[in-house]
Amino acid sequence: MHQDHCALGLAPLSTVARSSVSGAIDIAQGKPVQPVTLVRPHAAARAARFFVEKFPGRSMYAVKANPSPELIKILFENGITTFDVASIGEVRMVARTVPEATLCFMHPVKAEEAITEAYFTHGVRTFSLDSMEELEKIMRATRNASDLTLCVRLRVSSEHSKLSLASKFGVAPHEAKPLLFAARQAADALGICFHVGSQAMTPDAYADAMERVRAAIVEAAVTVDVIDVGGGFPSSYPGMEPPPLERYFETIHRAFESLPISYSAELWAEPGRALCAEYSSIVVRVEKRRGNELYINDGAYGALFDAAHIGWRFPVELLREPQSTVRDHPFSFYGPTCDDIDHMQGPFLLPADIQTSDYFEIGMLGAYGAAMRTAFNGFGSDETVIVEDEPMVSMYTTVEREAASNVVKL
């Protein structure tokens, strides 16, 4: 892996210095002062191959979930060759990282200058929109290009998902007719896209959304070439154990096959979390214990934004030899900054005898954990280690985590 400077997301991986150690426990025994990020390329590669082989259409990676250039290369090498980009910064970064990739600019509200650069400089031909104003903007910015794939975003329910995406974007299905008709006249290929919300806990989310798509198509009486079911594909977290992803794929495929669309229409999806959640975790140190509260050296302004601001629970594991035999106890965390909102309520279950100077691993941080990091208050760490053991939880394997692994320190 080589150095690729990028301000977005996970700190760029530096030149590999090969060594052989046993994994997260070995990292803890080294007593690092700052948190250490563990990345698992094999987990991201496995997730990519799963979607490529099993999803009945085209899978594009939603870059916002984790914009690490190294991760993007791994996904590309394992069959994810299309990327959902939401800003000109993401367009530039992905184009620089994997020039052969296909980019789809799926943010429904874009700067006109960003559209122009994406189209003329980076070869982007697919754009999302949810208003007549945006359609006019796209046409001006591309000088009325005739080779566009335009995806009209419908507003659908997020009732089956843990995080709603139902209020900011999307045209109501009963109001979509004039926009679909106008986009059909302007587009080489017309698509309909939607987003059921993040961490959809049942395939019914997609079945319900597809019914709204059906109603919009029937009302507008247009030929549709692309159905993009967006993101929302879940990962597994404590208290959020979704059904197998194959059930989501089966539900989507059945609904797609029944839609009144072009015979040659394509099915697309935009997995983000599902492709990268298992990619990374973090090793942190306990700086202080106050009853059921642990003060740790990462937090709301680091990799634990979701744990602090939306109450997300992540799997945790004490890194101590010999292992503790004390029963688990619920803890909350405080991060290292001077801000009271740097607080992760949890509960996070760790052995009741955990104490100051202990280390533990927080898993499943590959999605959004890396992307939301800041250096607020001067805290943060760029130390990253490649590990070959299994993630703490996986949607793609039932293999138990191995006691030992080879890692490469960066």
pLDDT tens-place string over residues 159-216: 877 776 777 889 988 889 999 999 999 999 999 999 998 999 999 999 999 999 999 9
Average pLDDT over residues 319-347: 95
Residue 109 CA to residue 138 CA, distance in Å, equals 10
Q: Give, for 209, the enclosing helix (H) or strand (E).
A: helix 204-220
pLDDT at 287: 97
104 among known catalytic residues: no
pLDDT bucket at 141, cuts 50 / 70 / 90: very high
Amino acid in the structure at residue 97: T
pLDDT band for position 313 (cuts 50, 70, 90): very high
Q: Which two tokens stand for residue 243?
A: 């059904």
What is this structure's pTM? Answer: 0.91
Separation of alpha carbons 159 and 258, rounded Å:
23
Measuring CA to CA, which residue among 72, 78, 84, 83 is closest to residue 9? 72
Distance between CA 234 and CA 273 in Å, rounded? 7
Q: What is the DSSP string of 301-336?
A: TTTTHHHHHS-----EEEE-SSPP-SPEEEEEEE-S
**Which tokens hold the place of 310?**
């939306």
Rounded mean pLDDT of the chain?
90
Residues above pLDDT 90, as percent of the chain: 78
pLDDT at residue 218, as a whole number: 95
Q: What is the mean pLDDT of residues 23-47?
A: 92
Pairing state between β 58-62 and 266-269? parallel
Q: Report whether pLDDT(10) > 60.
A: no
Q: How many CA atoms lie within 13 A of 365 on its CB side?
A: 31
pLDDT over 80 (residue 88): yes
Residues 132-157: what's their mean pLDDT? 97
Residue 398's pLDDT is 58
* Domains of the chain, each with CATH number or no CATH: 17-40+278-409 (2.40.37.10), 41-276 (3.20.20.10)
Number of other residues whose CB lies within 10 A of the CB of residue 112: 14
Residue 45 identity (one-letter amino acid): A
Instruction: Give pLDDT, residue 375.
Output: 86
Q: Which residue of the set 104, 193, 276, 338 is catalytic?
A: 338
Task: Specify the range with the lowest mean pLDDT, choosing from 120-129, 307-316, 400-409.
Answer: 400-409
pLDDT at 249 over 70: yes
